[in-house]
Structure 1
């Protein structure tokens, strides 16, 4: 059996982009398991949820927005700090950039390392990476909750708990019962857990389920367009996380090495989730973080380009 290529360096094929209407003035920009963006159209302006990885890639989102409205994009909301979500923000020069206080603190702490790390992992996703002027800094932040009015349309931004990162937020559009969840939920795509808080994430999913959304746009995967699909997406994410962390916790109790824990986890995860988008990419990072947390490391260790390669060689080499 051939060894997996590092992260997503072998994933260079074009993805088909979909731009789906999920409610009145609400759209999901998705691409077969690549990072999603969301669009909320108000009376006088629009909001984009997650900026894409480069300003050149953001132009495709902007082009599709122009097919449905001539209202300007005045806000870009960052669901969290990861480079693949935020480095395209300079493609929206007239927009306010919004994220949580915690996400901004993580940019300060580890933004440059994350940028270097993710560019090395995802060459296809960072098209025209030379167009990125540097780290993305928000112009507005908030601790837990913030309401933005797009004319008469209310958008509620909220940090509902630690999960994919410590600073994740959702965008809730109450007049349509629609939620944009960022990477709190993935649909037929692996959760990336390299910066996760495994013991918090299930409770955060409970908080998300309490919204009883009619539709939900996940971080990756197709939009969930009815209540059953929303529940299925949350349940699928929960199952992925509990299966993974449960396996690693068991390995730690048995005093397994990280490599042994990785092999044991793959044995239980592959049959259920092996066909999910970016699964092989995520698993070494996921097990490494789960192993750390199960052994008592509460705050995720910073990933660097060098650490990425060392870890991959140890687990997949």
Structure 2
């Protein structure tokens, strides 16, 4: 078998950006499996959900917002700490940068390594990388829940459980039942699980499903604009996670090596999920983390540029 190009270094084709209204004053900025952002327009100001990977990419989002409202972007919510979500934040001049306490702790613990790692994995997403001033630090953090008011419009930001990372939050707009989920939900795009908590993630998704959102913006993939689509998106994400972790747990129980566990996981995953965006990129990272968790390594090991390449050569080489 010919080795596959590292991560997404060969994914150089431009993606078509969509900017769709999914509720009153609510918008989804999506791009065919690239990281999504969300926009919430209130009476007096705007909140953006996830800042894109670079200030240059964030400026494209800011230009879209300017076409729908002249209200200022006062808040940028980081749903979690990953570089593709946060490093564009400096483009939002004067905005309050919000994140959970746990996300701030993860930036302190592993933000620099994650930044270097992600830039190496996905060069197309980090165009104009030189415009990034450094790590993004939130200016306001909270333990589990906070309400932010955009005039009379409430945005309820909640940590509903660990999943994609330990610090994930969602943003719910109670006046219309719409939720921005970050990478807790992906729609027909692979979940990246390199920093995941597999044991917790499905119950976190159950907590989300109990909220019965009328529409949902996932971390990647198309916006889900009906309750039925939201249900499907949550179910597909749960199936992806349980198929993956179930296979790897079985391999660990049988004493298989990481490479053998990776080969076995393909038998379960490829028939259902091979067509998903960034599937091949994610799979080695996903299996590595699942293998660790199944062996009792509760806190995800930090990814570095060097570790990325060594793991890739061992599994995808």
Query: What TM-score bracket applies, with the shorter chain setting the length?
Result: over 0.9
Distance (whole Å) between structure 2 residues aligned to residue 227 and residue 57 of structure 1: 30
Number of aligned residue pairs: give it. 317
Structure 1 unmatched runs, 5+: none
Match of 1:114 in 2: 114
Report the CA distance between 1:266 and its aligned residue.
Answer: 1.1
Say whether residues 1:54 and 2:54 are aligned partners. yes
Deviations 1:164-205 (A, max 9, x none): 000000000000100000000000000000000000001100
SS in 1 for 2:233: helix
Distance (whole Å) between structure 2 residues aligned to residue 26 and residue 217 of structure 1: 10
Distance (whole Å) between structure 1 residues aligned to residue 31 and residue 200 of structure 2: 29
Distance (whole Å) between structure 2 residues aligned to residue 144 and residue 203 of structure 1: 16
Match of 1:40 in 2: 40
Match of 1:217 in 2: 217
Say whether residues 1:134 and 2:138 are aligned partners. no
Report the CA distance between 1:118 and its aligned residue.
Answer: 0.2
Distance (whole Å) between structure 1 residues aligned to residue 57 and residue 223 of structure 2: 20
Report the CA distance between 1:2 and its aligned residue.
Answer: 3.0
Match of 1:4 in 2: 4
Q: TM-score, normalised by structure 1?
A: 1.00
Distance (whole Å) between structure 1 residues aligned to residue 93 and residue 211 of structure 2: 33
Deviations 1:4-30 (A, max 9, x none): 110000000000000000000000000
SS in 1 for 2:108: helix
Q: Considering only aligned residues, what root-mean-square deviation do their CA atoms show, in Å?
A: 0.5
Match of 2:143 in 1: 143
Matches within 5 A, 1:1-317: 1-317=1-317
Deviations 1:97-126 (A, max 9, x none): 000000000000000000000000000000
Distance (whole Å) between structure 1 residues aligned to residue 72 and residue 167 of structure 2: 27
SS in 1 for 2:219: strand
SS in 1 for 2:206: helix
Q: TM-score, normalised by structure 2?
A: 1.00
Distance (whole Å) between structure 2 residues aligned to residue 230 and residue 3 of structure 1: 36
SS in 2 for 1:125: helix
